[in-house]
Amino acid sequence: MFAILLPVLVAATSADLVTNGSQFAGTADQALPVAPASARPPPIAETDVREFVAIAGRRVAGRPVGGPIASADKLLLIARDDKGYPVTALSAGFPSRQALPAPPGGTLAVVRLRQRYTTPVPGPSADDLAFVAAHRIPLFIVGEWSRPAPMWEVAWVDGAVRFRTIGEVGEIGPWQD
């Protein structure tokens, strides 16, 4: 569905879309050069991608979402640039109660910044776990409801969906079911 959604996002107004990753306002012609899509990304994020997400995701936390949905989650798609470094390939607002569609080819990880938690205990929701089960791509959840922003990595590990916490200074918790 991202393949269907991306042309719509490219045609969206500047208040609806950001492609440069620095703020939630921009145009499609500011897009970063992204390396061509290769084989399926690893089910667990590589270290450089995880570190990039920890910095980039938390840097975006707390910034307002532009566009028609003020309470939207922020969504970042992480890919590699033409030199092999992780970059934010797409940055946009996304309805908070909507399940994520399939990511486009070349996406290494998806980051969802939630304005409030929707589960009894803060962490990944059932929709987040289902997304990883269906697409086998790492998903990072960053909570915007507190500071420092809590973060979880959800991944396909040993034939099942598991998640773990990522601490403020990069410490990684154990995988949980």
pLDDT (average), residues 104-110: 92
- Alpha helix ranges (H) inside the chain: 2-11, 47-60, 126-135
Placement of tokens 């640039």 in the chain: 81
Instruction: For residues 106 and 102, give the distance between their C-alpha atoms in angstroms, rounded to a whole number.
Output: 12
Instruction: For residues 80 and 84, give the distance between their C-alpha atoms in angstroms, rounded to a whole number.
Output: 5
Q: Which residue has the higher pLDDT, 154 or 93?
A: 154
pLDDT digits (tens, 9 = 90+) for 56-80: 888 887 777 766 776 788 889 999 9
Which of 6-15, 34-43, 119-128, 141-150 has the least mean pLDDT?
Answer: 6-15
pLDDT value of position 5 = 37
Domain ranges of the chain: 2-165
Cβ atoms < 10 Å from Cβ of 126 = 10
| pLDDT > 90 fraction of the chain, expressed in percent and rounded | 31
The closest of 71, 31, 58 to 140, measured between CA atoms, is: 58
Cβ atoms < 10 Å from Cβ of 57 = 23
| pLDDT > 70 fraction of the chain, expressed in percent and rounded | 74
Question: Residue 130 is encoded by which pair of tokens?
Answer: 């289902």
pLDDT digits (tens, 9 = 90+) for 7-16: 333 333 223 3
